[in-house]
Amino acid sequence: MQYQSSFKSPLGILIIKSDGQYVTEISFSECELQEQNDCGILLKCKEQLEDYFSGKSIEFDLPLNPKGTEFQQKVWAELQRILYGETITYMDLAVRLGDAKAARAVGTANGRNPIAIVIPCHRVIGAGNKLAGYAGGIWRKKILLELEMKHTIPKNLLF
């Protein structure tokens, strides 16, 4: 069975979907769902999104099941290793995956990430620290990165 629900975020409406065991999708929408059917995992996801946007939490602890190719799965798994408040380039991500020539393919896989925010594709930026590409719009990417910077202790202040 497919479960789905809306969540009002600072970035607008998020549509969250689940198969009952895993979060399968988080996407941006212009309107709330008319018919919502929550399940335990969707409620947990909403709580964690609320904590994320309020700065109370910097990590998600949700079972995820994004649908994609083997290569996309590898890219999405690597995205989850990018620390909160940090950014890397598409080239850096390709290098982490073992193929510096795959930057474009990595960018394409990044853009097809079905679980926005929780799989943090917003933390990948273009060369020269340019904000490039984001399925939810560059303005949302900018807000997400600013939110994370706001709640991150600079490394030079850590003792």
**Which residues are paired to 25 by β-bridges?**
17
Of the candidates 15, 34, 37, the residue with the CA atom closest to the CA atom of residue 117: 15
User: Could you give phi then psi for residue 55, rounded to 5 degrees?
Assistant: 85, 5
Residue 124 bridge partners (DSSP): 88
Burial class (CB within 10 angstroms; exposed 0-12, middle 13-18, buried 19+) of 34: exposed
Q: Which residues pair with 127 in a beta bridge?
A: none
- Interatomic CA distance for residues 96 and 78, integer angstroms: 8
**Does the annotation mark 121 as catalytic?**
yes
Q: What is the largest CA-CA distance in the chain?
A: 50
Query: Which of 31, 39, 45, 121 does the annotation list as catalytic?
Result: 121
The label of the residue with tokens 């399925």 reads: 135
Active site residues: 121
